[in-house]
Amino acid sequence: MLGLYIYIFIVGLVLGSFYNVVGMRVPAGQSIVRPRSACPSCSHTLTARELVPVLSYVWQGGKCRNCRTRISPVYPVFELLTGLLFAFTFYWLGWDAEVFIGWTLVSLLMIIVVSDLSYMLIPNKILLFFMIVFVIERICVPLHPWWESIMGAAIGFILLFLIAVLSKGGMGGGDVKLFGVLGFVLGGKLVILAFLLSCFFGTIFGLAGLATGHVKRGKPMPFGPFIMLGALTSYFFGHRLIQYYISFF
Ligand SMILES: [Zn+2]
């Protein structure tokens, strides 16, 4: 069993490394296969050895082998996080077809984190690709009742659309469409919870950032990482959180 977890973790690491490329290149309109990954400062093409997730960073001491420029620790951390989330998804959902939906959701959200942090953009191409995969998956593994997916997509889309209109640009069109996709996966209740949790995480981070001077007032903050946290919390723990909340009354 442990071997299986390690295997899934490694698959997550490798995919995490790939999702980083997808999140960096698709919004810029570049191909995800060519050119091969290179050092951003000296353009040295990375060899197979230098592409090994996390380990390459460790054994190169966090520096490019060619020009010795420091490599951002964001890359190995992102790969580790993807690996851990893949293993956790399997731990939480187990031998259930739903696990594929969980892995797909983690994949979409990790790509969006990169894309939103790098460009403040959520590309339509990525949303459309994942929407098609989710439709196929939810036909095989429907929510109960099945139309909860349609309801969820409508609720997620309309909720964010209203907020985008009311906040006059506080939310982008990408966020509106993303919550449509999330609603399709999560259903109505959980997509609303995902939104509330995203705002909650964003607010906590924003306040902490203001207090420590890492966030400037009035400067837009990429919301992608908080949507990732909010959506995954809702997906994995949403029903429990709602039960817990109701038990107070
Ligand atoms: Zn270099």
pLDDT number for residue 248: 86
Interatomic CA distance for residues 102 and 105, integer angstroms: 5
**What is the per-residue pLDDT across 54-99, written as a single tens digit (0 to 9) for each?**
999 999 999 999 999 999 898 999 999 999 999 999 999 999 999 9
**What is the per-residue pLDDT across 124-183, written as a single tens digit (0 to 9) for each?**
999 999 999 999 999 999 999 999 999 999 999 999 999 999 987 677 889 999 999 999
Indicate the residue type of 216: K
Residue count (the chain): 249
DSSP assignment letter at 46: P
Ligand 1 center–CA 45 separation, angstroms: 9
Ligand 1 center–CA 69 separation, angstroms: 6
Assign 239 to helix, strand or coil: helix
Entry pTM: 0.94
Ligand 1 center–CA 39 separation, angstroms: 5
Ligand 1 center–CA 28 separation, angstroms: 22
Ligand 1 center–CA 66 separation, angstroms: 5
pLDDT number for residue 94: 93
pLDDT number for residue 17: 94
pLDDT number for residue 83: 97
Interatomic CA distance for residues 233 and 136, integer angstroms: 23
pLDDT number for residue 168: 77
Interatomic CA distance for residues 99 and 61, integer angstroms: 35
pLDDT of residue 1 exceeding 90, the answer is: no
**What is the per-residue pLDDT across 205-235, written as a single tens digit (0 to 9) for each?**
989 988 888 877 777 778 899 999 999 999 9
Interatomic CA distance for residues 51 and 55, integer angstroms: 9
Cβ partners under 8 Å of residue 84, min gap 6? 9, 12
- Tell me the CA distances in angstroms from 194 to 51, 74, 91, 172, 218, one per residue in order: 34, 25, 21, 17, 24
**What is the per-residue pLDDT across 110-137, written as a single tens digit (0 to 9) for each?**
999 999 999 999 999 999 999 999 999 9
Ligand 1 center–CA 64 separation, angstroms: 5
Interatomic CA distance for residues 213 and 232, integer angstroms: 28
- Tokens describing residue 208: 């902490």
Q: Do residues 183 and 156 touch, judged by C-beta distance below 8 A?
A: yes
Ligand 1 center–CA 63 separation, angstroms: 8
- Tokens describing residue 138: 């939810």
